[in-house]
Structure 1
Amino acid sequence: MTHLDSRGLPLSTTSDLAAEHYREGVDLLLSTWPGTAEALEAAIAADPDFALAHAARARLHAIRTELTEAKARIATAEEIVARRGTERERSHVEVLSLAINGQSAKALQRALAHADSWPRDILILSLPLGAFGLLAFSGMADHDQARVDLCERHARHFSVDDWWFVTYRGWAHAENGNVTLGRALTQRGYDLRTNNANAAHALSHAMYEGGAGEDAERLIADWLPRYDRTGILHGHIAWHAALGALERDDPERALAIYADCIQPSVTAGMPVNVVSDTASFLWRLQAYGHTVPAGLWAAAATYSGEYFQKAGFAFADVHMAIIAAAVGDKAAVEQRVQVLTGLIDAGALAAGPVVPAICRAALSFADEDYAGCARILEPVAVDVARIGGSGAQREMIEDMLLLALMRSGEAVKARALLDRRLHRRPSPRDTRWHGLLAA
């Protein structure tokens, strides 16, 4: 009897139990749902020579930034698949190995080729997708469009009831500006599998991008209590609710969410989310004219000191610089900029000059040199997407430019930027700022 994965692809295992646990584990992994590790470990226990179970376990380790464990697990998968794997399984393990071992460009190239041959191998198709996927972190300025193109190329291989594909297809469209379609698709994905943190996350993004921030807050308030706090997206989804409260000019509510769900001492999130969510929330809170309670910036700096000390991960670099600037560590920002500039000169930073520019701008903004901040950001504003992440995350950089223009007396430029933003996504905060400029 040939065992199949959850999308009908054959598996090289003779164990009914191993196949069953693997299917469960992959679906939990792609839902970012607690229990993934246990399901995959059960699959491995039932068949220690099940290469894809080891590979999926390696992927989970990598997501949790447990790189030593991830590399050991993927090495085991490579050894097994060389002995008893199919062509598809060997390619599957190769792609994951490249990603886990830091060869992102090759991993992206091989993942796209793999998807052309086996589009329903969803663990591999998932790698280029999402805010932190291989496309987002490729340094491409048009990665939002590239995700849409990838999903549409393979849409015929999935039914309208495939909760995973519908969710990611919707997220891709919402991030790329087709918010109506994106919200409809992500809503369907959410309805098909509600115990899915990625679906709740994608739907809240679609609502936010459509100017329906209060809808997103209601969704999160209803859904988040059913998601265990050990879930790695718990804090990040709460971050979206905190942004909604800031949009409504309710800093007390926003801070309560931060204290309960987002700050480093309470969240089980991925380090990249913890660093970026704390940095961007506290920056927004302060930049919008509210007081950051004593100790919060210092706690964010202490946490971030354990991660991303080596420059070259563009999305992390920007947020690390914002934290350092906020606590007055100018030397750390300048050192990171120096290293990043060297990487650009060596052709080793895919995202390019926008990364050190944002770091320098963050320092100027913290120093209240708003004219200087605007001078740095204006020429690179069109390239901000190259740092990766989502539109909601990158909006902080646009806020930095907008506030720098407003505070340096560049009212005409500020109004033009606000007009574009209000046309793209109605926002209570932008409406208030537009009123201030018009007064």
Structure 2
Amino acid sequence: MAKDHHGLELTGASATAAGLYQKALEAQICYAGDAFTPLEAALADSPDFVMAHVLKGWITLMGADTPTAAIGAAAYEAARTLPASSREQGHIAALAALLAGELRGAARILEDVTIEHPHDLLALQAGQNMDFLLGDARMKRDRIGRVLPHWSRDMPGWHGVLGLHAFGLEETGHYERAEDAGREAISLQPRNNWAQHAVAHVMVMQGRHADGVRWMRQENAAWQPEAMLGVHNWWHTALFHMGLGETSEVLALYDGPIYGEPTAFGFNMADAAALLWRLELMGVDVGGRWNILADRFASEPAGRNAFVDTHAMMAYVGAGRDADQAALLAAQDQAIAGPGDNAMFVRDVGRFTIPAIQAFGRGDDAKAIELLRDVRNRAGRFGGSHAQRDVLDLTLIAAARRAGATALERALLAEREAAMPLAREAIRALAA
């Protein structure tokens, strides 16, 4: 039986297909390059190659639009009836849970896979993705930390483990260690978009805007070609320019690599909406960009992910789409009574954040303040990163200012300055 670089069995694979799979997996771990061409070649060679179907599922089911997610569902259907090892069966079961909206179940299954098989880099990556969707910062760190004794620098894929660990460390506030791990990963594999992104997260959270621009545009540009994580990494780059007050550069990035080619992928739309919303909070006219984005949000079903839906409300508010706003709120009522973990996301967070964004758009600052103050300290429960959810705090600050709640605004700015002392100048600019 064919095996991967770490001796893990690859059921149904020829030696040729196993080599092609390894190439596809490296692209997926880096979020850079073409994973699909070698993966399709592997399946053409070995149609019963179960992990090739599994990898296809993981590539296409995270934040995808409906047609792409259908490819992932078909990959799962192809895999579930094939002979498979217990490790491979774990992946299949996790995909089934993801398709059912049971993200906590998928996360636990993948946790068990990596406890038994700590060299399963795909299970580590997919598991951290589940932690991201769940907003589970501790597991973003600890599911990677627990396998570190089984890895060493000279092993293939070590850069991938370092990149994952860097993000987990950043999300739990270990900024220096996170930056060290991310930079080491990049020194081993400069195309590793996830490691690049982890270091960017550190710089965002510390308010190191000039450092961030240098990191993303000068220190390492190798992440940029064929970047599967390109929208998100350029979004980080735009945040750094925004922190420097370079709003024309932000708009250029939005019209270029961020949303110059509009997509209906959930997390790409969320990044686009969050960027336009932040610009609006700064008083920047974004023109007709909201309409294009709102059209894309409306092309996908609502009520599947409260994090994405919160950003959909931003687009509908920005575009003045009252009917879409009403439909989105109705979808939350249905979701909260429905199956899957999104019912929890809506109950705990979405039923506050989505109407808060609508209220802010309508000038009802008192309602926006009440809802955002209620939810902001537990907003992690509907997923995303600290950097992404920061848009809620920025909206609360803007609502307090607009409402004339001066004491609240000062308190919010003071807490922000205490948390990010390196960003003192940019934070004080918020009060200008």
TM exceeding 0.5 = yes
Selected match of 2:241 from 231, 239, 245: 245
The amino acid that maps onto 1:78 is: R
Selected match of 1:384 from 360, 370, 379: 379
Residues 1:374 and 2:366 aligned together: no
Contact preservation (8 Å) 2:17, 2:41 = yes
Contact preservation (8 Å) 2:190, 2:223 = no
Q: Root-mean-square deviation (CA), in Å?
A: 2.2
Q: Could you tell me how far apart the structure 1 residues matched to 2:244 and 2:178 are? A: 24
Q: Could you tell me how far apart the structure 1 residues matched to 2:110 and 2:312 are? A: 29
Query: What whole-Å deviation, never above 9, does each CA across 1:56-75 have from its counterpart, x for those lacking one?
Result: 12222324441222122222
User: For residue 106 of structure 1, what is the aligned residue in structure 2?
Assistant: 105
Cα distance, 1:149 vs. partner? 2.4
Residues 1:424 and 2:426 aligned together: no
CA 1:89/1:274 → structure 2, altered by over 3 Å: closer, same or farther?
Answer: closer
Cα distance, 1:13 vs. partner? 4.4
Q: Could you tell me how far apart the structure 2 residues matched to 1:346 and 1:33 are? A: 36
Q: Could you tell me how far apart the structure 1 residues matched to 2:100 and 2:366 are? A: 42
CA 1:153/1:226 → structure 2, altered by over 3 Å: closer, same or farther?
Answer: closer
Cα distance, 1:167 vs. partner? 0.7
5 Å-filtered alignment, 1:377-416, equals 377-416=372-411
SS of equivalent residue, structure 1 residue 119 = coil
Residues 1:97 and 2:89 aligned together: no
Selected match of 2:82 from 80, 83, 98: 80
User: For residue 174 of structure 1, what is the aligned residue in structure 2?
Assistant: 170
Q: Could you tell me how far apart the structure 2 residues matched to 1:21 and 1:283 are? A: 42
Q: Could you tell me how far apart the structure 2 residues matched to 1:32 and 1:54 are? A: 18
Q: Could you tell me how far apart the structure 2 residues matched to 1:94 and 1:342 are? A: 27
Contact preservation (8 Å) 1:370, 1:407 = yes
Stretch of structure 1 that moved more, 358-367 or 222-231: 222-231
Q: Could you tell me how far apart the structure 2 residues matched to 1:204 and 1:310 are? A: 30
The amino acid that maps onto 2:268 is: V
Q: Could you tell me how far apart the structure 2 residues matched to 1:340 and 1:148 are? A: 31
Residues 1:303 and 2:303 aligned together: no
Residues 1:207 and 2:184 aligned together: no
Q: Could you tell me how far apart the structure 2 residues matched to 1:7 and 1:295 are? A: 51
The amino acid that maps onto 1:331 is: A
CA 1:97/1:344 → structure 2, altered by over 3 Å: closer, same or farther?
Answer: closer
User: For residue 269 of structure 2, what is the aligned residue in structure 1?
Assistant: 275
CA 1:224/1:333 → structure 2, altered by over 3 Å: closer, same or farther?
Answer: farther
Cα distance, 1:187 vs. partner? 1.0
CA 1:37/1:270 → structure 2, altered by over 3 Å: closer, same or farther?
Answer: farther
5 Å-filtered alignment, 1:3-14, equals 3-13=2-12
Identity %: 23
Cα distance, 1:226 vs. partner? 4.5
Q: TM-score with structure 1 length normalisation?
A: 0.89
User: For residue 278 of structure 2, what is the aligned residue in structure 1?
Assistant: 284
Contact preservation (8 Å) 1:333, 1:359 = no
SS of equivalent residue, structure 1 residue 311 = coil
The amino acid that maps onto 1:156 is: P
Cα distance, 1:331 vs. partner? 3.3
Q: Could you tell me how far apart the structure 2 residues matched to 1:14 and 1:246 are? A: 48
Number of residue-to-residue matches in the alignment: 421
The amino acid that maps onto 1:334 is: A
Q: Could you tell me how far apart the structure 1 residues matched to 2:430 and 2:195 are? A: 32
Cα distance, 1:136 vs. partner? 2.7
Query: What whole-Å deviation, never above 9, does each CA across 1:258-282 have from its counterpart, x for those lacking one?
Result: 112112x426x67122211211111
Unpaired segments ≥5 residues, structure 2: none
The amino acid that maps onto 1:296 is: R
Selected match of 1:184 from 180, 184, 189: 180
User: For residue 344 of structure 2, what is the aligned residue in structure 1?
Assistant: 350
Cα distance, 1:285 vs. partner? 0.6
Q: Could you tell me how far apart the structure 1 residues matched to 2:224 and 2:145 are? A: 33
Q: Could you tell me how far apart the structure 2 residues matched to 1:401 and 1:192 are? A: 41
Query: What whole-Å deviation, never above 9, does each CA across 1:382-411 have from its counterpart, x for those lacking one?
Result: 111122111111110110011111221222
Contact preservation (8 Å) 2:133, 2:383 = yes
The amino acid that maps onto 1:235 is: V
User: For residue 194 of structure 2, what is the aligned residue in structure 1?
Assistant: 198
Stretch of structure 1 that moved more, 154-163 or 235-244: 154-163
